[in-house]
Amino acid sequence: MMHTRRQLLARLATGTLVAATGLSRAASAPRLPSPPQSTTADELARDEAFWIEVGRHYDRTEGITNLEHGYWGKMAHSVQAAYTGALKRVNAQNSFYARREYDADEAVATRRIADAMGVLPDEIVITRNATEAAHNLIRQYRGLGSGDGVLLADIDYPEFKTHMHWLKASRGVRVVEISLPQRTNRTDILSIYREAFAKNPNLKLMLLTHVSNQHGLLVPVAEITLEARRRGIDVICDAAQSWGLLDFNVNELGPDWVAFNLHKWIGAPLGTGALFMRRGTLAKVATYPGEVDPENTRVATRVHPGTFDFAARLAIPAALDFHLAVGAANKEARLRYLRSLWTDGALQLPHLEVLGGADEASWTGIGSFRLRGKNSLADAKSLQLRLEKKFGLFSVVRKGLASGWCVRITPQVFNTPDEIGKLVDALSRLSV
């Protein structure tokens, strides 16, 4: 939900951003300037005075311009305070806390996640990350036999694709892998998936990525899921990169099973993610070995994390507080704006290939590029290193696309147009 600039700044200024059960509140946030009566998300995206003030809530990387925030997200100061407070509490109380008090705190965090996603608390279980959630869904899916087909795409997360191929060895299924153009649009994406459905009538399960980790392509998950459901194909949706990057409701997204990260764009501590499983769909996914759920109503039985970082989970409400105070729509608009600042320039450079979405409906704040015709691992590593050593710009190499390796750019909301301008200048000075 978009907040007006006045509402947003008022919440930040009053320091109402920290709330983890049983934890002391952090110090009030810095006083912020008085905003105008109303501002749209797109207008706010270009208000540098505002984003400078938001940036004061974060620590910054020293000595280099970091444009690689897609690995995990930075915690705001209020989240750090909640996390360190929770760490002190857990360390002091030790097993007494874990065995007597944690369950109630976990219920609070779970409810907050569910509320933010627009789903029910009993449809959510906290995980260590989206990888844990998706791997369990793939391994424990019950509906496959010899000869059945599973579908994946080159834009899917490489480790998830590996797990889908594991089903071939373990269940005797046929793996169907499709490739999307390195730069594409919503219409073409839909056509490619529809063609795959038509050509492979024995498909039973598919992996579907909401936002590609390689180049930020936004996939029309709701429409694809609807078509898959009509054909009896179950969908495992990877939303590891999308929650917090985009403003969306999980029910509107469509799939019955979705794997999330909280430690990326939501800004919770490392080791926090979530699994959504819609009511009435659990029977298709076996419990984790050793877990029991005869009525198929307990999402928590589909994972078994062992001992985890209690403090990280206790800081989830604080991360959601900060995320919601800034506003999901406002964050999305800011990140899209920052991407447009470098891609608009890069698209005019004949020696570059810009990858990902070719229309507004299929691109996000994440983007990637490569030197034209240079798509090997060695090429990508050399390019990333040149940007870092020669221009002071940090990025990351990504794999998995059928078209080859690339360099990914993922600014955070506090990155400035001047920093993005340094990237554009660097790209213009690169040669093939």
Region class of 369: left (phi > 0), else alpha (psi between -120 and 50), else beta: beta
CATH number where 414 lies: 3.90.1150.10
On whether both 309 and 363 belong to a single domain, the answer is no
Domain of residue 379 covers: 331-429
Domain end, chosen from 288, 319, 350, is at 319
pLDDT digit string (tens) for 73-105?
A: 999 999 999 999 999 999 999 999 999 999 999
- Residue 39 in domain: no
Q: Say how far apart CA 316 and CA 301 lie, in whole Å.
A: 21
Count of Cβ atoms closer than 10 Å to residue 139 Cβ: 15
On whether both 357 and 299 belong to a single domain, the answer is no
On whether both 363 and 340 belong to a single domain, the answer is yes
pLDDT value of position 383: 97
pLDDT band at 16 (very low <50, low <70, confident <90, very high): very low
On whether both 315 and 372 belong to a single domain, the answer is no
Which of these, 202, 208, 240, lies nearest to 71 by C-alpha position? 240
What DSSP assignment string belongs to 318-374? HHHHHHHHH-HHHHHHHHHHHHHHHHHHHTT-TTEEEEEESSGGG--S-EEEEETT-
On whether both 374 and 342 belong to a single domain, the answer is yes
Domain count for the chain: 2
Q: Say how far apart CA 343 and CA 135 lie, in whole Å.
A: 33
pLDDT digit string (tens) for 147-179?
A: 999 999 999 999 999 999 999 999 999 999 999
The label of the residue with tokens 């997204």 reads: 253
Which of these, 416, 347, 427, 341, lies nearest to 386 by C-alpha position? 427
On whether both 123 and 242 belong to a single domain, the answer is yes
Q: Which residues lie across from 394 on neighbouring strands?
A: 66
Q: Which helix (H) or strand (E) segment is 150 a member of?
A: strand 149-153
pLDDT digit string (tens) for 19-74?
A: 334 443 334 444 434 445 578 999 999 999 999 999 999 999 899 999 999 999 99
Which of these, 269, 263, 261, 247, lies nearest to 78 by C-alpha position? 269
The answer, yes or no, to whether residue 221 has pLDDT greater than 50, is yes
pLDDT value of position 305: 86
pLDDT value of position 431: 72
pLDDT digit string (tens) for 379-391?
A: 999 999 999 999 9
pLDDT value of position 4: 53
pTM higher than 0.75, yes or no?
yes
On whether both 233 and 350 belong to a single domain, the answer is no
Longest dimension (CA), the chain: 64
pLDDT band at 367 (very low <50, low <70, confident <90, very high): very high
pLDDT value of position 170: 92
3-state secondary structure at position 128? coil
pLDDT band at 432 (very low <50, low <70, confident <90, very high): low
Residue 267 in contact with residue 392, Cβ under 8 Å? no
pLDDT value of position 7: 54
pLDDT digit string (tens) for 224-271?
A: 999 999 999 999 999 999 999 999 999 999 999 999 999 999 999 999
- State what percent of residues in the chain have pLDDT above 70: 91
Does the CA dihedral 73-77-83-88 come out positive or negative? positive
